[in-house]
Amino acid sequence: MKKMITLVLGIMLVGGVEATVYVVPGGTGDGSSWSNALGDIQSAVNAAQVLFSTSSEAQDVWVKAGTYSTAAAPVLMKEGVNLYGGFAGTETELSQRARGTDPWDFTHVTILDGGAAKRCIEVAANFPAVYVIDGFTITNGNGQGTQLNNSGGGVLLRANLKLQNSIVTGNTTTGNGGGINAVGGIVSNCRIYNNTTTSGTIPAAGGIYAAPASGFASLIEHSLIEQNAQGGVRVQAAGNSTLNSLIIRNNTSTGAGAGIYTNNPGSCTITNCLITNNTGNNTVYLNKGTMVNNTVANNEGLIYLASATNTGELYNNIVVGNVAKATTTPVAISVVAGYPAGKVKFNATWPSVASYSWADGSDSILLTDAATAWQDIAFIAPTSFAGATTDAVKLTEIAQANWKVGSASLAVNAGENSYFPAAITFDLAGLDRIAGARIDLGAYELPEGTTAPDASPENRVSVAVGGDRVYISGLTAGEEVAVYSIAGTMMGSVKAASEPVVVKLEKGIYIVKTPSQTQKIVVR
């Protein structure tokens, strides 16, 4: 537990001291404890920054559940300060915050509300080290603040500022990034949904706009980006952007790039992403960028490789079940005139690209027809329709879909290992990315030595990892789940009583055994 110290101007600190500054709704204290908390987040950030400048140790601000208005001015983050929400107001450790099933799901909700008058949170400069914003619901922002007005409706990030375990919803802007403008920085384990932009530039990205300057980078990872208007993610500018292990679904655009749009970024790597049920003139618009091991299915809109010089590249992807907007005509990949050969390899696509001059022969594993291609890929429980929806029943279907493949899928062991970035070692589910001799196609890897679940009753169970929790779905009441260490020692067991079964584990590698399957998992 961090040492608590009273916040008094001019306080002398011994080197290495860390402090926690506390905030509660209506607080009138000095911030030294929950019972003597401040009532204003900005005042707490400013006080913590003073302590950082004296001690050179990062300081934390803990904010109790409640709604905090930013209608007068956004919260301005400062170097050396970490900002945490999601507290009941009694905790002494971060780990004591009550959590739900998702990384952004806190029992005690801390809300930043822009009141449709200001952005909710922002930063003025790049940071030399990583500091975090964690555990907030960010809503009703309109992209106005002291920095880069008319963009980043809810949040403005710069290099080394990390937004994690948070919800960004109901924000808008007249420019880029209805939810977030990431001029560098990191978005991790967040849900970004129901944000929009009214910009005349389509798509200006209702969800996230990533535009790091040269020498800087944006990382967007392990997040759910859904139901945003005018595109899920847009990437451009001279810096480097990485999109990894994202679920991008049910976003819309009146133009291009309903899921992802790249506009000649310095570099852009897209890996382990599940891109489904989006609607636009195309689903992915690549004007430079490399897509490796993604699943792009049941969208209204194809993948468009938009430049013969700023080439988009596609390796080890699954691209099936997509149709042209407002039609039932199957589509997969299209290219601009003059697009070079050799940039589209080892994908499973329908319609097949094998017959086109720009395609590679390794893209020929799906050749018969749309129905056969769908069967050959063998998703566990995909959605039954293409494109975005607002229908309640279909929204439930999207939320419950399982886009992993069965062991008989032609996607298993069909990829080329050398295309996958060596720095990324896990798939979308948190399992080892290359489990066998050859990488599997798509966002998920079939664990080596196990049988993936399929649609049959005896293999109905799904195991997923989120943070330090393991979620086991598909069990019936009374069935037992056992967890073993990688060395084979039983760590414990539990009988299913509700759906899903949730098991909390420390970091490590485990074996989860259910009546129908055994699966290796990694808790990070």
Out of 434, 455, 476, a domain closes at 455
**Residue type present at position 503:** V
What's the predicted TM-score (pTM) here? 0.85
- The reply to whether 249 falls in a domain is no
Q: What is the mean pLDDT of residues 164-190?
A: 98
Out of 399, 432, 455, a domain closes at 455
> Are 120 and 92 found together in one domain?
yes
Q: Cα–Cα distance between 196 and 205 in angstroms, integer?
A: 7
Q: Cα–Cα distance between 198 and 279 in angstroms, integer?
A: 17
500 cis-preceded (ω within 30 degrees of 0): yes
Lowest mean per-residue pLDDT among 301-305, 337-341, 368-372, 505-509: 505-509
Please state, for a pLDDT cut of 70, what percent of the chain lies above it. 91
> Are 471 and 447 found together in one domain?
no
At residue 467 the predicted structure's pLDDT band, cuts being 50, 70 and 90, is: low
- The reply to whether 174 falls in a domain is yes
| pLDDT score, position 347 | 96
Q: Cα–Cα distance between 507 and 524 in angstroms, integer?
A: 5
- Max avg pLDDT among 365-369, 394-398, 485-489: 394-398
Q: Cα–Cα distance between 41 and 506 in angstroms, integer?
A: 32
CA angle 313, 386, 466 (to 5 degrees): 70
Yes or no: say if 187 and 210 are a contact pair by the CB < 8 Å rule. no
Q: Over 70: is that where the pLDDT of 519 sits?
A: yes
Domain of residue 118: give its range: 61-244
- The reply to whether 293 falls in a domain is yes
> Are 113 and 166 found together in one domain?
yes
> Are 424 and 490 found together in one domain?
no
- The reply to whether 17 falls in a domain is no
Which has more confidence, 63 or 9?
A: 63
> Are 223 and 267 found together in one domain?
no
Yes or no: say if 484 and 511 are a contact pair by the CB < 8 Å rule. yes
Give the number of other Cβ atoms within 10 Å of residue 426's Cβ. 17
Give, as one character, the DSSP assignment of residue 51.
Answer: H
Give, as one character, the DSSP assignment of residue 476.
Answer: P
Strand order of the sheet with strand 75-77? 75-77, 121-123, 155-158, 180-183, 208-210, 233-236, 260-263, 284-287, 303-305, 333-335
Q: Per the structure block, which two tokens stand in for 405?
A: 């493949």
- The reply to whether 374 falls in a domain is yes
Name the domain count of the chain: 3
Out of 244, 270, 294, a domain closes at 244
Q: Cα–Cα distance between 147 and 132 in angstroms, integer?
A: 19
> Are 93 and 150 found together in one domain?
yes
Q: Cα–Cα distance between 232 and 278 in angstroms, integer?
A: 9
Place of tokens 């050749």: 367
| pLDDT score, position 163 | 98
- The reply to whether 368 falls in a domain is yes
| pLDDT score, position 142 | 98
Lowest mean per-residue pLDDT among 171-180, 324-333, 430-439: 430-439
Summarised one tens digit per residue, pLDDT across range 205-247 is: 999 999 999 999 999 999 999 999 999 999 999 999 999 999 9
CATH of the domain at 487: 2.60.40.3580
Place of tokens 């009214």: 198
- The reply to whether 471 falls in a domain is yes
> Are 438 and 296 found together in one domain?
yes
| pLDDT score, position 487 | 60
Q: Over 50: is that where the pLDDT of 79 sits?
A: yes
> Are 411 and 282 found together in one domain?
yes
Give the number of other Cβ atoms within 10 Å of residue 150's Cβ. 18
Q: Per the structure block, which two tokens stand in for 152?
A: 């980043």
> Closest Cα to residue 134, out of 172, 170, 203, 82?
82
Lowest mean per-residue pLDDT among 413-422, 435-444, 481-490, 507-516: 481-490
What is the pLDDT of the chain when averaged over all its residues? 90
Three-state DSSP class for residue 349: strand
| pLDDT score, position 510 | 81
Lowest mean per-residue pLDDT among 10-14, 356-360, 410-414: 10-14
> Are 350 and 371 found together in one domain?
yes
Summarised one tens digit per residue, pLDDT across range 3-53 is: 333 333 333 233 455 689 999 999 999 999 999 999 999 999 999 999 999
| pLDDT score, position 17 | 56
> Closest Cα to residue 127, out of 49, 10, 30?
49
> Are 434 and 467 found together in one domain?
no
Dihedral angle sign, alpha carbons of residues 61, 64, 65, 68: negative
Q: Cα–Cα distance between 274 and 294 in angstroms, integer?
A: 6
- The reply to whether 205 falls in a domain is yes
Residues 6+ apart with CB under 8 A from 309: none
Lowest mean per-residue pLDDT among 102-116, 374-388, 453-467: 453-467
> Are 147 and 204 found together in one domain?
yes
> Are 334 and 428 found together in one domain?
yes
Give the number of other Cβ atoms within 10 Å of residue 361's Cβ. 7
